[in-house]
Amino acid sequence: MLKVRPDRLDEYKRSHEAVWPDMLDALSRHGWRNYSLFLRDDGMLFGYFEAEESFRASLDGMAGEDVNNRWQELMEPYFEIPPGSHPDQMIVELEEVFHLD
């Protein structure tokens, strides 16, 4: 979960209408499956993905991708995070406590 700056919501949404093809390819190569982002009107953003191998392997794989570093730098100004931080450095794994198929 991250917080998008309220004054940047529309711009943030537009940026995800055209995610770079090489970014999409990198996500797929590193096991990101069923990846979705959900945004509330107040800027609260929730991301969900299923990892092919493991959560850590998917994050570590993307950390080594130049395209990911460029994307994170582009996304950084949209978020309420410490200056100089990349949004993907804020990702934490949540414990599933309930699931219904």
The continuous run of DSSP H or E covering 34 comes out as strand 32-39
Give the sign of the dihedral formed by CA 19, CA 22, CA 26, CA 29.
positive
Is 16 an active-site residue?
yes
CA gap 87, 82 in Å, rounded: 10
The continuous run of DSSP H or E covering 9 comes out as helix 9-15
Q: Which residues are catalytic?
A: 16
